Amino acid sequence: MGISRRNFLSAAVTTGVGAAFMKRIPQIFPHTNAKEAAVSGIKLTYRRYELKLRHVFTISRSSKTVTPVIFADVTADGITGTGESSPNARYHEDASTVTAFLDRIDLSRYDDPFEREDILDYVAGIAPENTSAKAAVDIALHDWAGKKLGVPLYKLWGLDRNKVPVTSFTIAIDTPKVMQDKIREAEEYPIYKIKVGLDNDAEIMKAVREVTKKTLRVDANEGWKTKEVALERIKMLQDNGVEFIEQPMPAAQLSDIAWLKERVGIPIMADESVLSLYDIPKIAEAFDGINIKLMKSTGIREAMRMIHTARAFKMKIMLGCMIESSVGISAAAHLSPLVDYTDLDGNLLITNDPYTGLTLKDGRVIPGDGPGLGVVPREG
């Protein structure tokens, strides 16, 4: 009896063969004749920038009003591809660690950016972690290839950009009154992601439901520390018609999350518990789905692998983001026709996005039709 591709992939990942198998998945871009693609030398540069938030952004573990990001530029053959790093302390990164990591990369050892697999393997081997720094290089290489071929990324992958899921819009933790005001201000968005994880979760949800009947998704950002508290809070969320709950407890408490999954009536999505495809087999029994973020998963290449692996485990998939400009959000948006849910609002939460090219249409973040990422620097 033959084995299906899905069953083979699931078995391969679970038994440890997955890494070897996934490295043999065909490259995202088509093969190109070496003579046609050959270019002379690759240059990597970077620029620091500070994104300013419209409102104080508070989750269960931190607050911020600005977010430093680093734009990485890969230049070869007269073409520049741009990527973005939005570092997060939860994953042991900040602007200084990103620039220090980028300083260690020597792309001049390669002649052709189409050698992306080898280049990204080299970048990955420089040091562990540094996920958003690696993502910046990954995104820049993909942008370069799309520009070189004159095609937007979604077309290279055979996707329909009009089939992206509706994005949620994040309402960060604040006083219940301020959160109500934020919802009124964000009236154009059909889905809200409500941040919780503190002692007044029930008060927040009551206030939210007083001003909207729209679809709600909730993110605790590991805020509940005991399974009993988490169970009580999730039952309260169910009573408020919440679609799903994201990362209710710390990633280290996997057995407690599995205990929760058996006792609640809404899906539980993993965020902090899943960074790479290797995490998926470990957490599949405890979660109903995963939230993939390019900044914690080292970029587009790993995100694509994670999408296929999660499908093999019959898990739901969401594409999320950090606070990012249109560069990082565009990279995820091009992938979004492949997933079930999106939370791609990072550029919508800031006041000084230095790039443009995305379109918000009926609650969907539509990638641009220009080559590569389809974004360009904003005039002025």
**For 170-218, what is each residue's pLDDT tens digit?**
999 999 999 999 999 999 999 999 999 999 999 999 999 999 999 999 9
Report the chain's C-alpha Rg in angstroms: 20
What's the CA gap between 299 and 82, in Å, rounded?
13
CATH number at residue 125: 3.30.390.10
User: Are both 370 and 262 inside the same structural domain?
Assistant: yes
Q: Check residue 41 and give its pLDDT.
A: 85
| Mean residue pLDDT across the chain | 92
Q: To the nearest whole percent, how much of the chain has pLDDT over 70? A: 89
Are residues 191 and 218 in contact, defined by beta-carbon separation less than 8 angstroms?
A: no
Q: Do residues 55 and 128 both lie within one domain?
A: yes
The residue ranking higher by pLDDT, 380 or 236, is: 236
Q: Is residue 310 part of a domain?
A: yes
H or E stretch covering 23: helix 18-23
Q: Is residue 246 domain-resident?
A: yes
Per the CB < 8 A criterion, the answer to whether 322 and 332 are in contact is: no
Same-domain pairing of 229 and 305 = yes
User: Is 12 within the bounds of a domain?
Assistant: no
| One domain for residues 210 and 264 | yes
Q: How crowded is residue 324: how many other Cβ atoms within 10 Å of its Cβ?
A: 28
Looking up tokens 């057995």 gives 255
Whether residues 162 and 138 share a domain: the answer is no
**Per-residue pLDDT for 380 more than 70?**
no
* Mean of pLDDT values over 225-240: 98
Cross-strand partners of 359: 366
Concatenating the DSSP letter of every residue in 269-302 gives EESTT-SSGGGHHHHTTT-SEEEE-TTTTTSHHH
> Do 194 and 252 belong together in one domain?
yes
Taking only the tens place, the pLDDT of each residue in 118-155 is 999 999 999 999 999 999 999 999 999 999 999 999 99
Residue 164 belongs to a domain with what CATH number?
A: 3.20.20.120
pLDDT at 12: 42
Q: Is the pLDDT of residue 33 over 80?
A: no
Question: What distance in Å separates the CA atoms of residue 267 and residue 286, rounded to the nearest whole number?
Answer: 10
Residue 216 covered by a domain: yes
Choice between 353 and 28, residue whose per-residue pLDDT is larger: 353
309 and 170 fall within a common domain? yes
Residues of the domain holding 322: 155-377
Q: Do both 281 and 361 map to the same domain? A: yes
Indicate the number of domains in the chain.
2
Q: Three-state SS for 324?
A: coil
